Structures are given as structure tokens and as C-alpha cells.
Structure 1
Amino acid sequence: MHYEESGHKKKSVNDAERLLKNAHEDAERMIRIAREDAERLLKNAHEDAERMIRIAREDAERLLKNAHEDAERMIRIAREDAERLLKNAHEESMQENVKETKQPNQQDESGMSLKKDKLHTVGEMASRLAHDLQNPLTIIKNTVEILKIQQPNLDVKTKDHYEKIERAVTKMTQQIKDVLNYVRTSNLQAEYVSLLSILKNVLNDLKIPEYIKIILPDEDVMLYGDPKQLEIVFSNLILNSIQAIEKKGKVMIQASDNEYFTAIDIIDNGHGIEKDNLSHIFEPLFTTKQTGTGLGLASCKAIIENHGGNIDCSSIVGKGTVFTVKLPKTEGIKQ
């Protein structure tokens, strides 16, 4: 009897050990399968993410290339049309000087009206092309920002690609702004406005390098003019000063006024402007920059003169440059 009970207990222990062993093996097999599945899913997810990033980068680079080619074509067409109009205007002026006429005033007005219509047509074309380019640039910019948020731990090569795209978009956006600012001919909406408020709006939109210090006027002054148009002027002038500074430097803005005029000086300690170029810097399409449109300073001159003011520049090579804007304190705006 005792032998039977002992044998039964031994069998039960063996069965329990076998079940435990089988359960352990099953658990290990399930863990191994789960691990393999997880690794496979993780690998696939990683490959999918890399593929999505690669496709997005290729799409962004393709859009950027197309937009860049369109921008260059637009600027080239606008420059060629402007040069042709200037050449025709010069030839017509020479012909009018040697031609006798009984109604000079009427012919002058007719000629000026024709030239104005031609410039207006070129302006509309350039404005439409520039506007069409803004949409793909906005898409590229937003795509890059989303990808950077989704992939915070980017490798150096991918991060460099994104930064190149962002720099190219910024450059092209500025070129488009130059063209639009130059060809727009809307009437000015004049009001009294704070200089400091204009400058603060401008600086909020500009990307200021860490090595450049911007010094604002100690005291505010009131200007009479179109705030949006004046922001374009000071944005162009400050950006021009920033681009002239290669290393550590500063851009100082000073203001003074009298009974009739307010004068604003934008002073930088950049590389300066060559004497031969100084007399041409406000001419349309003139530029010494490899990527410039030659329209930024021309826009500034046109806007300030429409306000009844004037703009001037003095410079010493190796020392820096001073742009001086003078605006009337009362209504001197050309409508």
C-alpha cells in the first residue's frame, strides 16, 4: 500500500515537472516569437520612416529647384523688360529732343502716359509671377518644419539638407519680396506713426545673426507716412546693413527732427561701398551681390520720394555705410 502511494506521488511530481518544463519552453518560444515580431515591426517602421523622410526630402528639393528656376526666369524676364523699356525711353527722348513740334506739352504727356502703361504691364506680370511662386515656397517651408518636429534626433547629414533648404527658401522669399515691392503701385495710406513701432515690427520679421547688435534710437519720433511702406524701406536698409557685416558688428539707428523734416540714419560698420558703385546703388537692377535682384534700394528710393522725402547714402570702404532717410513732418505725399 505504501509502495503504491509512493509511486503515485512520484508520478505526479514527474508530471508536474514535465508540465512546468513544457510551460517554460512555451513561454520562451512565445517570448522569442514576440521579440522577433517586435524587431521586425520596428525594422519595418524604421524603414518606412526613412522612406517617408527620403520621399519628403526629394519632393521638397524638387519643388525648391522648380521654384528657384521659376524665380530666376521671372527676375530675368523682368530685368530684360525693364532694360528694354529704359532703352526705348532713352531713344524716344533723344528723338523728341531733335524733333520740332507745335504741341510739345501734349506729346510729352502722351509719351509719359505710354511709358507708364508699359511699366504698369511689366509690373502686373512680375507681380503675378512672384505671387505664384510664394505658394510652393510656403509648402516647402512648412514641410521642412513638420519633418524637423517629427524627427527631433536627426543625423548630421539630414539636418544639413534641411538647413540648406531653409536658407534657399529664405533667399528666394526675399527676392520675391524685392520684386513685389518694386512693381506695386498702390496709393499710400498715410498716418502719423511711431518710428520705434515700425522698427520693432521690422526686427521681428528679420533673422538677426547673433554676431550683430542692433541699436535703436534712445527716443521715439513720429513719422507721417504709410506704415507698411515705411516698414519695407527700413527692412531693406537694415537687411542691407546686416549683409554688409561679415564678422562681429553693429547696426545703429538714429533719429533727429526739426520743424519741417525727420531724419533717420541707419549706420553700420560693414565693409562699405566702393566709390564707383555709390552713385548707382539706387538704380533699378543695379547690384553687387551674386544673388541680389537690384530692386531693394530702388524700392526704398521710390517709396521715400512718394512720401515727399529723399534718401541718401555715404560710405567709406572698410569703415562702414550710412543711409539717411528724410521725411517731411507734414503732408508731402505724392498720390
Structure 2
Amino acid sequence: MGIKDRVLLIEDFEDTVKILKKLLEINGFEVDTALTLAEAYQKLHSTTPDVILLDINLPDGSGLDFLTELRSIYPDIPVIMLTAYTEIENAIRSLQHGVDDFIPKPFDSSYLLHSIAKAVEKHKLKDRLKKSEKFRIIGELASGVAHDFNNLLQSMNVHLMLLKDSLSSPEKAMEYINALEDVLENAISVCNRLNSMGRKQDIDLTVVELAQLVRETVLLTKAKWYHEPKKRGKHISIETDLKKDVYVKVNPAELREVFTNLIFNAVDAMDSSGEIKISVKKDKNLAICSVEDNGTGISQDVIDKIFDPFFTTKENGSGLGLSISFSIIQRFNGDISVKSIPGKGTTFMITLPCSKPAK
């Protein structure tokens, strides 16, 4: 028996709850219920539903206000609004708040079931596409790590041969042993960087120093911006201007994913050799990070759609990299913008609220 799709029903009229719960369970859904928004928040803290049925008016608040807050934490969970005919105007407004559909009361059972099934399928498709995009990125990173490891292993082999030839000289042997230790530390660092990129992403946020996270990402992506272009006769360099002690509260793995996307895009924008500049600075209570390239640039009509899901100008692109990046930065209460001059280059600017360093 397959895993059932989970529905969170947020409705204060108990008779409606009983009817809907029975209807959905008969049709193969797992149903959880909440009579108030406070109860709904508790349910969401413990489990993530595949779709939410939300009444527009609840005893402890407005469904529209709840929807706005929900979208800042869970931007992708489908929401279907339940509303009386007298509240149709509010229901239409809810579409502007990111609701997937609204169902007037008294509801038509077949339409309700169709709407839920469509929302769940759309959600699953988006989730699969996001995962495939992440796997693509990790695949490219893994290729780079393999390259780094090959270099490290060759270095270890050379130092081992030198060590064998210098056993009669303790001082020389110790010099090669110390060099081997450095190579091993570099190998461990490579492993840790890849592990941090693929680590499970939790909702909990952590205070990190932005400059350190950027440095890690630059190292992690070196195969993409240095080794691969070099094989094709291109030279791409990254210059950094990273102010220290700029702290932000984020999910480190997700923010690395954002910077990885921006670096990859900058490399793809260069037909020949070029330069990427990454800066980190603090302006009052904001952390500001820019990723600038001197590539082909982007036209204004593309900029207008660049963060839209599935929009891409790449032949084999999914159109999700920048859309995912946009969602991640918004979830951290930040902003991401882009400026470009065709033929000159492109600059992506990320702003995030500053945080105090962890004790």
C-alpha cells in the first residue's frame, strides 16, 4: 500500500470538518484537522502536509494573514481556500497572496477532490524538478572534487616516494611527513566541503560568518570556474573582497546552494576568458553580497523573468536554479536583485539582515 497524501484541514465549523474529513479519507487521503490558526501552527511544526485546505475566516485570525505568513516559511505547500459565497471578493484577493485555488461553500465534492489532486500533483512535480536541479549541481561539484582528489593523491604519492628516499636523514624525512599531513588535511577539507553541500536542509537557521561561507563555496566550485574552462583554453578567475565579521542567520547548506548557482551562471555567461568578482560588506544592519561577472550580459526582457520558475535561456537548463535561489533568500528575510548591461556583464546583489555572532 502506497504512502497517502497528507491534507491539513483548517476549519472551525465542526460539521464541515467531519464531512470533509470523511470524504477525503474515503478517497485515500490522510487528514489532519485544526479548528484554529494556533492549532494549525502546532500541526505544521510537527509535520508538513502535501496540501492545506484553509477557511478564510477563523476564530483567532484571518486566513489571508495566515497565508501570507505561511508563504514566507513554506513557499511551496499548495493551499486551497474554503469560502462562503458572500466572501468571494476576499477569496479573489487570496489569489494575489499565492493561494492555488478557492472552493465556494457549499462545496462540490468532485470539484474539491479534483482541485486537491491537481494541487498535490503540481507540488510533487515542482519538488521532483527541484531535486533534479540540486542533483545536477552536486554532480558538477562531485566532478570537481574528484579532480581535486586526483591532484592530492598524486601529491601524496610523490611525497611518499621522497620520504622513502630520505629515511637515512631524519630531518628531511620529517619535512616530508609534515608535507604529507598538510595534503591529508586538504583532502579532509575537500570531503567536508562536499558533505556540507549535500547535507539535509533543516528549517532551523544558524548564525554564520558570510565571508567564510563565500570562501568555502568558491573552493567548492573551483572545478567549474577554473579547471573545466582551462581544459577548453579559457581562463576564468575569481577575485574576492570579503569584509570580516559580517554575520547572518541562515541555513548554511541552502545559502551555499545560492552562491553556487550564481557562480555557475557567471561562468556560463562567459564566451571566453573572464573575471568574477565577489564582495561582502556591511551597511548598517544589512549584509550585502554581490557576484559580478564581465560576461555577455542579460537583456531587460530576460531580467524581468529571470527569477520565474522554469524560465531559462540555456538549452539544457531546468529554469529552477535562480527561482530556488530567490525563494531561499526570501525565506531568510532577504532580497536578491540583478543588474546587467548586454555585452558588459551582470551583477547579482544579495541583501540579508545582519545577526549577532553565535556565542
Q: Please, what TM-score do these two structures have when normalized by structure 1?
A: 0.49
**Greater fraction strand:** 2
| Rg comparison, structure with higher value | 1
Q: Please, what TM-score do these two structures have when normalized by structure 2?
A: 0.46
Asked which structure has the greater RCO (Cα within 8 Å, sep 6+), the reply is 1
